Structures are given as structure tokens and as C-alpha cells.
Amino acid sequence: MIKATVMSDATTQDPGERIPKATTSTPGQTEVSFRLWARDNHKTGIWEVTPGVFKSTRPGYDEICQILSGKGTITEEDGTSFDIGPGTLFVTPAGWTGTWTIHKTLRKMWVVTDVPTN
């Protein structure tokens, strides 16, 4: 029997222990990631980060993000930027690079698909 994987309230449920954000330029910034499900080259879960600024890349995977709570601004490598908040849906494809500025603790639901290497 195959059963559904459920997180009862993705907007408020505690996703676990926070750790220092490795790519931050803001002292004390933390993050937590909870993997809800994975199969083959697909994974999904919840991620949360506290206010601050950090660099981000997508080496070898595409990511679909749905913002559940919080506020931020993402600046892409070419200098263009967009604001994110509850309801924002976006994709960062493999090879993407940018900077995240988190204004209010941000939580997202993410889906990652590994890009095959030839």
C-alpha cells in the first residue's frame, strides 16, 4: 500500500534544528531544511531562513519555490531583482546564481529535480 506523505501545517510546523547559514554575509543568520519526500532525482520539503543576506547557486539541479511566509528580495547575477513573499512562485534553474536579502524570516516549500549529467 502506498501512502501519502503529509505535513499538517507547512506554514507553522517546526521543521527542526536551525544551523548557521553557510553562505551568509550577515552574522548570526540561520536556516533549517526539512526534507518531506524524495525519490530518484526528485526531492521536496520546507526551508526557513532568518533575516540577512546570502549568496545562492543551483549547481546541477532545478528548484521550484513557493513562498509560504516572510519577505525578501532576490537579486540575480545581472543585477535584476524581484520581491518575494507569501504566494510567490518561482523557478531557479540549474546554473542559476543570485543573492537573497531576507527582510522577515522566510519559509518556502521547495521541489528540486537533479539535472542529469552526460
Tens-place pLDDT, residues 11-70: 888 889 999 999 999 999 999 999 999 999 999 999 999 999 999 999 999 999 999 999
Q: What is the mean pLDDT of residues 71-80?
A: 98
According to CATH, the topology of domain 31-114 is: Jelly Rolls (2.60.120)
Closest by Cα among 108, 110, 111, 109 to 49: 108
pTM for the complete prediction?
0.92
Give dist(CA 65, CA 46) in Å, integer: 10
pLDDT score recorded for residue 5? 85
pLDDT band at 87 (very low <50, low <70, confident <90, very high): very high
Give me the residue spans of the domains in the chain.
Answer: 31-114
pLDDT score recorded for residue 6? 86
Give dist(CA 14, CA 101) in Å, integer: 22
Q: What is the mean pLDDT of residues 92-115?
A: 97
pLDDT band at 117 (very low <50, low <70, confident <90, very high): confident
Does 8 or 24 have the greater pLDDT score? Answer: 24
Pairing between strand 42-49 and 19-20? Answer: unpaired
